[in-house]
Amino acid sequence: MLAYAQFAGPVGHISTTAIHKDSIVFKSWANSCTVIRGYQDVANTALGYVNVGVDTNGINKAGDNPVVTLGDGGSAILTFPVPISDGVGADFAVFENAFDDGFLELAFVEVSSDGINYFRFPATSNTQTQTQIGPYDYVGDATMINNLAGKYRALYGTPFDLNELQGIIGLDVQNITHVKIIDVIGSVNPLYASYDKNGNAINDPYPTDFPNGGFDLDAVGVINQASVGLENDEINLNVEVFPNPCTDKIFIQVKNSKVETLELFDTKGQLLKTTKEQCIEMKQFDAGIYILKAIDDKGFVHFQKILKN
């Protein structure tokens, strides 16, 4: 197989889609997690199952708890305070604890709107399959990987966009109640390999034949969630942004309140601009998703997602 790069790069790269755990795009985090452990080594089942971490380590904000290890082919099912919905851009992100941009332990991601039927994001791995990546090899390349959790190092989430699953019978992308994370068995041996959407074996560190082997789940953060009514900040500050999507500038119209400050952030939580004007120039920013934070004279806050073409 010929290996070639085509996807978003690692943390810090201009093309990265990694989202830091402290980004203001996250509205909530998983509040329940059930894990089915996999073997330390699927080719040597006598070693038994992985056993590091407890199920509840998969809940709450990334970095708040230790991780829970899945092992070869192990899985975790997570639920949320409010269902995830398909909105503008990425809708949720999965966090692993890789300590290096090159040591990438991967997992498939599936979603369900009924807790019974699960549908997988179409994963791609263009990593070479001629040579097995060993358990201590730091040769992972994010640009070869798409729609696989674990693409980014610790504290940076891999985003997933439900729009890619639109139209699937049996799935309501506006009401995702369950997310399933399934460890990729990184062996290139056809007897044990996990395969991407193109039928290519997914090569990641293998064997990781120890109690904390395989994908290490940290957290799942929600970016877009189903509407459950107006929150307090939205009641006290009605902010309309137009045009949205935008190209050159955005205008902010306020009802029933006075805006003291407007702040524009990128999806990594980096502050890009602060102003009191109700117009923000967007020409200097790259195409993508941005977050507008409006603070009124009573201290209430409203967040609005901006799409820049």
Per-residue model confidence as pLDDT tens digits over 180-209: 999 999 999 999 999 999 999 999 999 999
Residues 36 and 178 in one domain: yes
Residues 190 and 278 in one domain: no
Q: Which two tokens stand for residue 118?
A: 């699960």
Residues 214 and 239 in one domain: no
Domain assignment present for residue 105? The answer is: yes
Residues 133 and 258 in one domain: no
**Phi/psi of residue 235, each to 5°?**
-65, -40
Residues 284 and 191 in one domain: no
Domain assignment present for residue 288? The answer is: yes
Residues 179 and 261 in one domain: no
Domain assignment present for residue 227? The answer is: no
Residues 189 and 150 in one domain: yes
Place of tokens 């199920």: 55
Residues 187 and 279 in one domain: no
* CATH code (residue 127): 2.60.120.260
Strand partners, 179: 78, 111
156 touches 20 (CB < 8 A): yes
- Bridge pairing between strands 288-296 and 301-308: antiparallel
211 touches 69 (CB < 8 A): yes
Residues 167 and 95 in one domain: yes
Domain assignment present for residue 6? The answer is: no
Domain assignment present for residue 122? The answer is: yes
- Summary count for the chain: helices (H), strands (E): 1, 20
Last residue of one domain, picked from the residues 167, 190, 222: 222
Give Dmax over CA atoms of the chain in angstroms. Answer: 67
The model carries a pTM of: 0.79
Residues 54 and 120 in one domain: yes
Residues 127 and 40 in one domain: yes
Nearest C-alpha neighbor of 13 from the set 147, 143, 157, 150: 143
* CATH code (residue 293): 2.60.40.10
CA 185 to CA 79: how far, in whole Å? 24
pLDDT at res. 166 = 96
Place of tokens 């994370």: 181
DSSP conformation class of 132: P
- The count of other CB atoms within 10 Å of the CB of residue 255 is 8
Q: How many domains does the chain have?
A: 2
pLDDT at res. 236 = 39
Domain enclosing residue 291, as ranges: 232-308
Residue 124 three-state SS: strand
pLDDT at res. 4 = 57
Domain assignment present for residue 275? The answer is: yes
Last residue of one domain, picked from the residues 189, 222, 255: 222
Dump strand ranges (E) for 21-163. Answer: 28-29, 32-36, 68-69, 75-84, 92-96, 107-112, 119-120, 124-125, 145-146, 156-160
Task: Kindly report which listed range (2-16, 88-102, 159-173) carries the lowest average pLDDT score.
Answer: 2-16
Q: Assign 278 a pLDDT band (cuts: 50, 70, 90).
A: confident
Domain assignment present for residue 139? The answer is: yes
Residues 216 and 243 in one domain: no
Q: Assign 5 a pLDDT band (cuts: 50, 70, 90).
A: low
Nearest C-alpha neighbor of 203 from the set 124, 101, 100: 124
Quote the mean pLDDT of the chain.
Answer: 90
Last residue of one domain, picked from the residues 157, 190, 222: 222
Domain assignment present for residue 201? The answer is: yes
pLDDT tens across 219-264, in order? Answer: 999 999 886 543 444 433 467 888 989 999 999 877 767 778 888 8
